[in-house]
Structure 1
Amino acid sequence: MQLTTILTTLLATVAIAAPAPAPEAIAEPAPILEARAQDLIDLWKNKNFLDLKFTGSANVGDCKNLPSNFNDISSSGKAKAGFRCTIWVDKDCKGTGFSFNQNPGSASFPDWINDKASSWKCVKA
């Protein structure tokens, strides 16, 4: 009889220690992939890529206004590799624009936009 009690107790202990069956996996919705801002443009205060430098980050194809400390002072610029960038005289990418790529970029903006750029946008080249 003691053997029966010991076996019953042992089986009860094993049953309690056994892991519960895994719940059914709940399907979660696929994550939404968002475009990530990346460095797309470099602008310099002076010609020949000299003096203060602004590096603009955005999602490809988004128009960005230049920050107040770089509005109306750009004289040269380069797009990052694989992109073509346009700067505009007016904010919100309006008005007349001037485009350039990475190599050679534009070491000297034309007079009509030199020190007048207010916004920019870059696209895949």
Structure 2
Amino acid sequence: MQFTTILLATMASTAFSTPIGAPVAEPALEARASQLIDLWQDNGFLGLKFTGSSDVGKCENLPNGFSNNVSSGKAKPGFRCTIWVDKNCLGTGFSFNASPGASSLPSWIDNKASSWKCVKA
């Protein structure tokens, strides 16, 4: 009788135990665009402001309203940004940091920028 009880208890514990499955993969974290640059339509960081978000090192074209309509800019802290005369970060570029930024752009790029890209400073 005791042998039967022990045998049944062993079989029951084996039958009801939770099997060890394969490890469950954790969902991958999505890379999120960071705010990297502030551009203003007027000198002295005045007028309408565009805050550009992107992945570090990725070229972005300026949106309508700011393409060929930027007169000052600052990179976000820890970054150095370049704006280009042509779309897709082509042509001549002008770079600036967070501080002091560029309170007025040189005449050759003032109201002529079409794209931007920022990298770690």
Say yes or no: TM over 0.5: yes
Give the Cα separation in 2 of the matches to 1:101 and 1:30: 38
CA-CA distance at 1:68 after TM superposition: 1.2
What count of residue pairs does the alignment treat as equivalent?
113
Q: Secondary structure at the match of 2:95?
A: strand
Question: TM-score when scaled to structure 1?
Answer: 0.81
CA-CA distance at 1:79 after TM superposition: 0.2
| Larger CA deviation: 80-89 vs 19-28 | 19-28
Name the % identity: 63
CA-CA distance at 1:25 after TM superposition: 2.9
CA-CA distance at 1:69 after TM superposition: 1.7
Where does residue 84 of structure 1 map in the other structure?
Answer: 80
Where does residue 3 of structure 2 map in the other structure?
Answer: none
Q: Which amino acid counterpart does residue 44 of structure 1 have in structure 2? A: W
Q: Secondary structure at the match of 2:17?
A: coil
- 1:105 pairs with 2:80: no
- 1:52 pairs with 2:44: no
1:17-36: CA deviation from partner (whole Å, max 9, x where unpaired)? xx931121312446544432
Q: Which amino acid counterpart does residue 74 of structure 1 have in structure 2? A: V
Give the Cα separation in 2 of the matches to 1:85 and 1:76: 12
CA-CA distance at 1:38 after TM superposition: 0.5
Q: Unmatched 5+ residue regions in structure 1?
A: 1-14
- 1:68 pairs with 2:64: yes
1:121 to 90, 102, 117: 117
Question: TM-score when scaled to structure 2?
Answer: 0.83
C-alpha RMSD over aligned residues: 2.5
Structure whose alpha-carbon radius of gyration is higher: 1
Give the Cα separation in 1 of the matches to 2:80 and 2:31: 18
Q: Unmatched 5+ residue regions in structure 2?
A: 1-11
